[in-house]
Structure 1
């Protein structure tokens, strides 16, 4: 099905996907940072630090449990009524929910209702994000010239480190406040900033055109009647392999950021400003890796790049945590940056790989479900890493081993992806 799109139009859509995704991830990452620094003390208050941290990370994980629901809901709608409409809804929902978190009273004001309401808002946030990324990548790829899909598919990925820079930078600034001011109102400011950012995101998203490929499917009456069901019935191998390829970029990232922030402050006694600075530096380097990775996907194929990124990430897992354990500022920043750079290699090509696994009439659903199946497990990675610390007597080798396992799963699925993609043509014949 040939659809001609100009480079100028492709760039416009890719930029719209990038900006919207950056603002979405800013909102979503705020919760992860706050779970490490704020929610464990103000919403899941307990005399036991481990219990409080586990409660905060459990609420963090709830957002990932809700993401598949968002993938199912918006995947179905995106493959039935259009990609653009769904992306406007998702960005509006997550912006409103994030701003509402900034207004939520703490446990010390309303008791147990505080963590309950926080968890409910996190659920809504997860639903929105569950439908966001798959649609953004699908829209960008379906507007892109075939020979340049790798670079355009990487544009929404760049929204992730930008979101990290914005969220970590915001928390780094408010962390400079006196502790009593930070706890009383300072931590709320990054969340409240979601309201003006929401306006920007909506303005940009409304200017993005619908996918010409989707419009052609609609015109020719080639839409799937139940796209989510068809993905499970006819593209289940693609779904599993796609989820595996996305695992390192999501789960590994939260291990090196969310878990390390908690581990570094609670177990190693490092300052939160140092760890947030490490996250900022890593995010800046990640942008470069994502840009290069998108171009490499066009030359060598996204499956091969995913395999390489998984193997490299496994090799640097233990050295990364050895550097973090020194608590030396320079080595901590290098360790976090090295790990994020390596796990960003498969993340850079994830959009190109996943969109190639599924035919157009199932693409939004297939891509969203793959990413969010990985997201379910990834949401529990910080919680699992925290639990493993008790097994390893507080030493980091257990977390490093967990990163190795995640990396090797992604490497194996990257090797399988090209073969599984060949089965895509069988899905097109829906008879």
Structure 2
């Protein structure tokens, strides 16, 4: 497999970064993307924790504990189904009219939807309308989130100095980590309330408070500059389109499937580690609720070092080898992790969750940001990257907690759960042997890297 490393060539973002105004815009972009991604992951972390801890009692009280857990995670999966639709619709807008416009739309949509979840009456108050409204708001969240994460990664990658692109693009993961930390920290405070108060009204507090993050992100995004790569593309659009018409038919599918495989290897294990395991250890293993919640907080704190470090590693050693090592570590982690959870020891359970999150939710995620952006040409980067990542989310992260809960209900054993985890990580590992090395690639190119 040939390399596509072109780090020695001067690129649009490098020229943009050399001026004082360019550097100010660069840092403004970082902060606005960080806050927006924080908003997205406040949403998913809040929902993952709530689904594991209280949603079964609030929205599915007539079902048994395991079935209620399955139902809660089924509504989570609905949000992921809407994400590819958002990636297609909003991704096309981003490729035609700019990254900034879409990133303003996504943060507004996610902020309103997440806050509205905190206002839904319980099943006891309005019956089946309660879970129905929950599903509708999850669809709205998913539609916005489908273009948020990819758009943020594209914006950072297209604005970053070439030699630091892995590090800068990985900061999209710092935003996700901030959201997870914020959500889990607020949940720790909520869990200090009596259990009946948590179920009655306490769970609403984190969702209602999310409007503060959304408002700050929206304000910053309205004032940030468009990415220099997209600005360059627009300035020479006629010439670019003439070159694009000469591209071979079918161009882009290989890159698309590479991104899909990489995403499955990261997203499935990630959402099992930070989503399903929360409900599993609480409902199936009867571990105190504070143990997994505390573990998520600890992992999130570590993430502020793990994420940029993994991005730096890809700048130093290459995208492909770093991603491959993370996938291999997850494959090795799978079986021992579930076996250790059976001990029900708080420190062991917490440690398993922390390690899982550091590998998948943090390390691989940080390595993936620049890799994904570099796989695609500028003309369709937003759409192709977004759809590949969100389809991968459906096939892995969005459905992983639900599938894992179904396996648990059917088998009553941890073994199928461990096998499922290893298979998803293995898909990512195998994909790295078909993926190119893209470190330093010129992002103004129309053609894909493969």
| TM-score interval, smaller chain | over 0.9
1:426: how far off?
9.8
Structure with a larger share of its residues in helix: 1
Contact 1:57 1:382 (C-alpha < 8 Å) held by counterparts: yes
1:313 to partner: Cα distance: 0.8
Structure 1 residues 320 and 286 mapped into 2: Cα distance closer, same or farther (>3 Å)? Answer: farther
Runs of 4+ in 1 over 3 A off after TM superposition: 222-225, 230-233, 419-422, 424-427
Task: Give secondary structure in 2 for the equivalent of 1:118.
Answer: helix
Whole-angstrom distance in 1 between the partners of 2:421 and 2:444:
34
> How far is 1:231 from its partner?
12
Report matched runs for 1:281-296 at 5 Å: 281-296=298-313
Alignment of 1:383 with 2:402, yes or no, is yes
Deviations 1:142-183 (A, max 9, x none): 111111100111011111221111111111111110112111
Q: Which runs of 5+ in 1 are unaligned?
A: none
Are 1:308 and 2:325 an aligned pair? yes
| 1:86 and 2:102 are equivalent in the alignment | yes
Please report how far the alpha carbon of residue 204 of structure 1 lies from its aligned counterpart in structure 2 after TM superposition: 1.9
Q: TM-score, normalised by structure 2?
A: 0.89
Which of 151, 157, 160 is the equivalent residue of 1:144? Answer: 160
1:100 aligns with 2:116: yes
2:57/2:199 contact within 8 Å kept: no
Higher relative contact order (CA 8 A, sep 6+): 2
Q: Confirm or deny: 8 A CA contact 1:320 1:338 kept in the other structure.
A: no
**How far did residue 28 of structure 1 move?**
2.5
Residue in structure 1 matched with residue 61 of structure 2 by the alignment: 45
Ranges in structure 2 where 5+ consecutive residues have no aligned partner = 1-9
Q: Distance in 2 between matches of 1:14 and 1:327?
A: 41
SS in 1 for 2:434: helix
CA distance in 2, matches of 1:397, 1:180: 34
Q: 1:22 aligns with which of 38, 48, 53?
A: 38
1:185 aligns with 2:196: no
Q: Aligned to 1:418, what secondary structure does the other structure show?
A: coil
Partner secondary structure for residue 327 of structure 1? coil
SS for the counterpart of 1:234 is: coil
- Is the counterpart of residue 410 in structure 1 residue 437 in structure 2? no
User: Following TM superposition, by how much is the alpha carbon of 1:354 offset from its aligned partner in structure 2, in angstroms?
Assistant: 0.6
Whole-angstrom CA distance in 2 between matches of 1:426 and 1:174: 49
Query: How many Å separate the matches in 2 of 1:426 and 1:150?
Result: 18
Q: Name the structure 1 match of 2:48.
A: 32
Q: 1:63 to 1:232 in 2, by over 3 A?
A: farther
What does residue 373 of structure 2 align with? 355
Partners of 1:195 and 1:169 in 2: CA distance: 16
Deviation of residue 50 (structure 1)? 2.3
Report whether the alignment pairs 1:329 with 2:346: yes
- The answer to whether the 8 A contact 2:252-2:376 is kept is yes
Equivalents in 1 of 2:65, 2:139: separation in Å?
A: 24
For residue 395 of structure 1, report the CA deviation from its aligned partner: 2.4
Query: How many angstroms apart in 1 are the aligned matches of 2:419 and 2:358?
Result: 18
Match for residue 11 of structure 1? 27
Structure 2 CA distance for aligned equivalents of residues 232 and 192 of structure 1? 48
CA–CA separation in structure 1 for the residues paired with 2:165 and 2:261 = 21
Mapped to 1, the partners of 2:249 and 2:332 lie a distance apart of: 34
Residues in 2 aligned to 1:191 and 1:184: alpha-carbon distance in whole angstroms: 14
Q: Is the 8 A contact 2:36 2:214 kept in 1?
A: no
Deviates more, 1:49-58 or 1:102-111: 49-58
Aligned residues: 424
Using the TM superposition, give the Cα deviation of residue 139 of structure 1 relative to its aligned residue in structure 2, in angstroms: 0.7
Q: Where in structure 2 are the equivalents of 1:22-421 lying within 5 Å? A: 22-222=38-238, 233-343=250-360, 344-377=362-395, 378-392=397-411, 394-418=412-436
| Aligned equivalents of 1:105, 1:345: Cα separation in 2 | 38
2:4 equivalent in structure 1: none
| Higher mean C-alpha displacement, 50-59 vs 144-153 | 50-59
In 2, the alpha carbon distance for the partners of 1:313 and 1:49 equals 29
